Amino acid sequence: MKIEDLTIATAHELLLNRAVSAVELCELALARSTAVEPQVNAFLHIDAEDARRQAEAADARIAAGTAQPLTGIPLAIKDVLCTRGMATTCGSHMLAGWKPPYDATAVAKLRAAGAVLLGKTNMDEFAMGSSTENSAYQVTCNPWDTTRVPGGSSGGSAVAVAAGEVLGALGTDTGGSIRQPAALSGVTGFKPTYGRVSRYGVVAFASSLDQVGPLAHTAHDCAILLEAIAGADPHDGTAANLSVPHYAAQLDGTMRGLRIGVPSEYFVEGMEPGVASAIRAALDTLHDLGAELVDVSLPYTKYALPVYYIVAPAEASANLARFNGVRYGLHVDGEDGWDEMERTRGRGFGPEVRRRIMLGTYALSSGYYDAYYRRAQQVRTLIRRDFQAAFEQVDVLAAATTPTVAFPIGAKIDDPLAMYLNDVLTLPASLAGLPGLAMRCGTSQDLPVGLQLIGKPFAETDVLRVADAYQRATNWHTLQPPL
């Protein structure tokens, strides 16, 4: 038995039938990680002994007949989510060695479900990046071609799944940081509606945008993970007080009767021909499966990039002000308090984080707030209204996730604008707070191409239904990288 051949759903059945134990599954995951980590660098930290203890506890739950769908399932956690007693660095020297005294709500819910958490995955520093090259510790490599990036900022989580080290992982998505690496690494990634999952215990980047979500091999597995972590939370006032649907139970393999909108604006200038071809073929498959395709327009899409890079850095500049070398994290001595703070932040933050803090501080500064931040928020409202108008005609939107396949490591790291443009298709849904899923739908240049599905607020089930039906009819999600 190979762990890379399993899904969460199939592993759950094997555990219930006693064909494998949670301890054996954990050992498979640890052995796979030992074998492939030197090639991909997905993890920043693996705690093998703690994982074995969790697996033993999971076996006891299974024997007692109290197993849940995630009991005994090996998972990974993006290093931006707090994990009690386990280092949480956010991929930054600023938090090197910091161990939180509590779990993020999403992590606590996975523990309560009996999942086996192997460790923490690499990421762009403080979730700021699109390639996982901005980590202060290591560069994560795409398992389909280790000379290329896996996407970011949840690149470590995407690769841990794609490389078969775990069966699922948590990431966070602020402007595309689950969907983009899922697409480039050939897995399924789901950003829920803003507020569907608690942000408590997530080290904040942009508080009006950040959202926790799952990455896995299939939409069905994402549904299982989402159901486990979603719901209201007294620790987070932005977590919606809504009941959580039984997502997986509603996936019947059909999408007949659903209307799927195809926004013309998402076939952007500069999109690689191979990507466009794979997306059009996927749309044809959706039509063949019974969905009605409808052309729609989202005219304010073109403003999403500049709006995002005002709103998100502005919020980041405020959120990251807490890292001043006084209460926790890195501290560098200086001549006085101001000098210490300057030295600490200068040494602790990498170049991309410093760049975004400066952008955000400028946008919020006296005399520029109205010209930049306020205007960006007004255009953000127009982007949201575009989606509202489109969803009066359709149930789900379908488009490319990225305009290109995974690019070579180092190709864009010194060109911030080129790097930012890689998120041009994921930013609009983030600004509108909508649920979005990315999954593999083809190949170009021997690399994965990702289809993006966007749904109405809190209509995650519609998105998952389309993705699940597509994956039952195709085999793109079953392909494995040549590791």
Can you say how many angstroms the Cα of residue 213 is from the centroid of all Cα atoms in its chain?
A: 6
pLDDT digits (tens, 9 = 90+) for 141-178: 999 999 999 999 999 999 999 999 999 999 999 999 99
The mean pLDDT value for 235-241 works out to: 97
The mean pLDDT value for 453-466 works out to: 98
258: pLDDT strictly greater than 90: yes
> Residue 442 contacts by C-beta under 8 Å, 6 or more apart in sequence?
274, 277, 278, 279, 281, 282, 448, 449, 476
- Count CB-CB contacts under 10 A for residue 204: 19
pLDDT digits (tens, 9 = 90+) for 348-363: 999 999 999 999 999 9
3-state secondary structure at position 185: helix
Given a contact cutoff of 8 angstroms between Cβ atoms, the answer to whether 89 and 79 are in contact is yes
Q: What domains sit in the chain, N to C, each tagged with a CATH number?
A: 3-255 (3.90.1300.10)
| pLDDT band at residue 345 under the 50/70/90 scheme | very high
> Residue 49 contacts by C-beta under 8 Å, 6 or more apart in sequence?
none
3-state secondary structure at position 121: strand
pLDDT digits (tens, 9 = 90+) for 383-396: 999 999 999 999 99
> Residue 338 contacts by C-beta under 8 Å, 6 or more apart in sequence?
none
CA proximity to 478, closest of 154, 113, 10: 10
State the Cα–Cα distance between residues 384 and 291, nearest whole angstrom: 24
Residue 372 backbone phi and psi in degrees, to 5: -115, -70
What is the pLDDT at residue 326? 87
Just list the catalytic residues: 78, 153, 177
Q: How far apart are the first and last CA of the chain?
A: 17
The mean pLDDT value for 413-439 works out to: 95
Task: For residue 386, give both structure tokens.
Answer: 């575009």
30: pLDDT strictly greater than 80: yes
What is the pLDDT at residue 327? 81
The mean pLDDT value for 178-191 works out to: 98
Can you say how many angstroms the Cα of residue 139 is from the centroid of all Cα atoms in its chain?
A: 17
Given a contact cutoff of 8 angstroms between Cβ atoms, the answer to whether 104 and 334 are in contact is no
Q: In what order do the strands lie in the sheet with 211-216?
A: 43-46, 116-121, 74-78, 168-173, 211-216, 188-191, 436-444, 447-455, 396-400, 259-263, 292-296
pLDDT digits (tens, 9 = 90+) for 81-129: 999 999 999 999 999 999 999 999 999 999 999 999 999 999 999 999 9
- Count CB-CB contacts under 10 A for residue 366: 5
What is the pLDDT at residue 56? 98
